[in-house]
Chain A
């Protein structure tokens, strides 16, 4: 039996942070002119959602439970907006990457920029009470995870890009 830790039991800043973050992300996703076919745009959205879900459910739960999201250590409805928030975030990552047509030499800088932005966003989430760190976890570890995850995303983008190019040929 795993004991539930309750951090907060009101609808306050952490829920609003998730909802507003998700709405802003979705706003940009809808308003920006489309750059990708619908099927690929969905994959780019899902990419963030999948990595976010995996992190929240593997690093954030048993056995180590390095961090918790939302009001309790359990999974509840208020966790859903914060989980969905990862989707527009990854979509914008791929969108800007595709838009600025970055040279290979500058990819590490792009990854670093996004990892810093993600860490800043996470820090804001922590201030709002969305993230609660346990067992020695801190934002520096998240930063390293972001560097790794964003590098995987770049590889994923190029695989998809190659696949599309072969289809067009």
Chain B
């Protein structure tokens, strides 16, 4: 049952990310997804192996449910937050949607803990998981800003080569 619910939520997330109006380019999305996977998997490993404050299921459907959550649902939801936060010419930054997704992500994490799919060994970790997600978002936001700087240099180099041709 857990696997079915996890897969359905992952699929709904995929549908949502496919249909939302995109303010980021494909390259930005790929960059963010890679960064998020690296950061989340490393931090989960540190929390699990080094500090022993999270326990992941060892066997069966629960393991797959968590893997789907870690590889699909959580990074894609964070990608949607970044997309909503990105200002564009047509649309302003959508703070309400970003906060709603962030709350949804935290609640989903608490639900996983409630059903003993992920076990938080210490109470304050469970309560502060939302802040941990916020920190992750801030770090990735900084990296995205750095990455998007190359848009400008790229446009400039195209502009320069066009001018040289003229």
A residues with a Cβ closer than 8 A to B are: 1-2, 4, 37-40, 42-43, 46-47, 49-50, 53-54, 57-58, 61-63, 73-76, 160, 163
Contact = CB atoms under 8 A, between A and B. Distances in A.
**Which secondary structure characterizes the binding site on chain A?**
helix
Contacts of B48: 2, 61-62
Contacts of A73: 49
B38 interface: yes
Interface string B135-162: 0000000000001001101100000000
Contacts of B44: 57
Contacts, number: 70
Interface of B: 26-27, 30-31, 34-35, 37-38, 41-42, 44-46, 48-50, 52, 56-59, 63, 67, 147, 150-151, 153-154
B150 to A, nearest CB: 4
A72 B67 CA distance: 24
A1 B49 CA distance: 8
Contacts of A1: 52
A63 B34 contact: no
Contacts of B63: 63
